[in-house]
Amino acid sequence: MATDPTTPLYSDLAIHPGEHLAEELEARSVTQRQLAGNMGRPPQLISAIINGRKSITAETVFDLERVLDIDAQFWLNLQSRYDLTLARQRQSRRSA
């Protein structure tokens, strides 16, 4: 069966941005507690983000940018992709 070249393909794999954050911290040998302290945020927030219980907000991305020197837009894009993938999965289940 041929696919329509104008139909966009989307991944159904939802990767929370906290996974990327955890990898970044590991690569830098930085603990969650150290990151939280450098950001002026509670350690519980960083833990919740890394464990996928909280989203990365527009306010948080500026702290991540300042502390990790990774563009705020990068973090927002990760969160947006994650949110869109989850929404697409819900939509797919409703229409099935």
Domain coordinates in residue numbering, the chain: 17-95
Q: What is d(CA 95, CA 39) in angstroms, rounded to the nearest whole number?
A: 42
pLDDT tens per residue, range 17-71:
999 999 999 999 999 999 999 999 999 999 999 999 999 999 999 999 999 999 9
**Confidence band of 83 (pLDDT split at 50, 70, 90):** very high
Q: How far apart are the first and last CA of the chain?
A: 20
* pLDDT confidence of residue 3: 60
Burial class of residue 90, CB neighbours in 10 A (0-12, 13-18, 19+): exposed
- Please give the CATH architecture assigned to the domain spanning 17-95: Orthogonal Bundle (1.10)
**Confidence band of 13 (pLDDT split at 50, 70, 90):** confident
Q: Which is higher by pLDDT, 2 or 26?
A: 26
